[in-house]
Amino acid sequence: MNKITLAAAAVLCTVSLQAGFLDNILGGQQEKVESIKTIEALNNAQSDYGQNQAGLVNATQAAKWINNWEENKPANVNGRLFIMQVGLLPGATPFIKHDDVHVYTFDRTAGCTTTGDTRNDGISDIPMPIFAGDMTGMDGAFWAYDINPLEDMLLVVVASDEPKNIALASRFLWTMNYWGMKSDHVSVMNGTAMYMFDPELNPEILTAGVTSKASMFTEYGSEYLMAPGGKLDYGDMDAGRYPAERQNFKSIKTLPAGDRFELFASMEDMMNVVDANDKKNVIIDGRSSAEYNADIATKRSKAEILLCGEDHTSMCYGAFEGHIKGAQNLEYRFVINTEDYVKDLNGDGKIDARDSSMTFKSKSELAKAFKNLGVKKDSDVYTYCRTGTRAALITFASFEILNYKTHMYDGSWIQWSKLADATDTNGNQLLPSNSPWRTDVAKYTENVTYNTSIDVGPGSEELYPYAGKGEGDKITEADYAYRYSN
């Protein structure tokens, strides 16, 4: 077990509220909500998901579970509730409360897109990809938290004010569905805890026994399976110390549901979709309009980490900008409510989008947006962004809420923008001009705009410029082999 990496544990990782006359009192030193005209809009956004016991659940349901899991847990769940918290609440009590008997809270979910690992799809490396299945991947994560996926319930709760955290939560559910986690054993709470657990903003939460927002939080996260210092206890085999004993771990191989590997799209899949030119296929780009339109004066596609410069302390960028041919632009923020802010929740002295509920918009609003992009009942929806994080929100809305056949291109623009006839920051050729995998051509990309005056990150260490057709799905092939091996 000493070889289990921290990266494995990291995987476990509308209408606006019409509110709001804010009245400054005491010379502007204090702000309060003078009146909330109506919370009908928030209720409408929540009502579509109010009966859900899995998938996207509203805050009232989540609070009932947290306050009394044994009394309120779904009938088909026999185990414990694991709250995988994304972000911390500002203040002295940042963690969602837990009893460490039936309910556990871990602040470990951010790694579900940023494992620090790479995987190769048969064409090139993909940074921070879908998690693999073995003990350095999904099984290692389940082992680390002593999770039994057959019995336990996973609830992802976004505590803080960063829209990216909602995307991370959405990606978590995508990952669990991909691997065949029982759909009724994994869920994401709709909206941020700092907003939705506030009875003043969401009075419905009172019906779940929430007397105040403070009552839902505590100072420390769960210490279950923790080593001194608050880290998950992997033991120290060099020192002869074994990790804390696990009682409930079960491999993903034991899951009774089949996989949903079709939720993943490879670069080869995306090229095939472009080649097919079939109206049933709808490609959605979840990036900003500046990125989509290759407006390099406003935005460029950067790497996730600093790799460039003499001391590797400078930002790297893609070889070129643009968007996949035929893709429609739907900025990821559109699918969540970011304008229902009424008071300073995060304590930064401003009342802005970071204080909004960030709940998913209603089904009718989402359905209208997808319809405007040409999505129909029989469509195949393909999503991407820069890294596969923002696109997770679009993906969640598409497959979890609207039930469209959906596939997320996990390599996204970070991979797509490197497969070019260009040189990297070290002066090395990225792809030869005659490679069939070049994306910087009109056949596959619109608005091609090269980044010629800045550092382009180093090319993939494992690049196969002449890989044959059918060789670009190595990730799902490896995952299938592991999932169904003895």
Question: In 3-state terms, what secondary structure has residue 251?
Answer: coil
Rounded alpha-carbon distances, angstroms, from residue 174 to 106, 122, 264, 316: 19, 22, 9, 28
Cβ-based burial of 92 (10 A; exposed 0-12, middle 13-18, buried ≥19): exposed
CB 341, CB 353: distance < 8 Å? yes
pTM (2 decimals)? 0.89
List, for residues 98-109, the tens digit of each pLDDT value: 999 999 998 864
Q: Is the pLDDT of residue 113 over 60?
A: no
**Average pLDDT over the chain, rounded to an integer:** 86
Name residue 358's amino acid: M
Q: Which of 421, 436, 410 is nearest to 125 (CA)?
A: 410
What tokens were used for 395? Answer: 């993906």
Superfamily (CATH) of domain 261-483: Rhodanese-like domain (3.40.250.10)
Q: What are phi and psi of 354, to 5 degrees?
A: -70, -10
List, for residues 323-332, the tens digit of each pLDDT value: 999 999 999 8
Query: pLDDT class for 250, splitting at 50, 70, 90?
Result: very high
Greater model confidence, 310 or 112: 310
List, for residues 368-420, the tens digit of each pLDDT value: 999 999 999 999 999 999 999 999 999 999 999 999 999 999 999 999 999 99
Q: Is the pLDDT of residue 117 over 50?
A: yes
Q: What are phi and psi of 334, to 5 degrees?
A: -65, -30
pLDDT value, residue 42: 57
Task: Find tokens 């300073």 and name the residue.
Answer: 344
What tokens were used for 149? Answer: 């996926």
- For residues 66 and 462, give the distance between their C-alpha atoms in angstroms, rounded to a whole number: 46
Comma-separated ranges of CATH 3.40.250.10 domains in the chain: 261-483
pLDDT value, residue 161: 86
Q: Is the pLDDT of residue 181 over 90?
A: yes
List, for residues 33-86, the tens digit of each pLDDT value: 333 433 455 555 567 898 899 999 999 999 999 999 999 999 999 999 999 999
Which of 35-49, 240-254, 434-448: highest mean pLDDT? 434-448
Task: Find tokens 């196969």 and name the residue.
Answer: 464
- For residues 193 and 454, give the distance between their C-alpha atoms in angstroms, rounded to a whole number: 40
Rounded alpha-carbon distances, angstroms, from residue 372 to 16, 234, 282, 288, 375: 21, 50, 11, 18, 7
Query: Do β-strands 264-265 and 405-409 pair in parallel, antiparallel, or remain unpaired?
Result: parallel
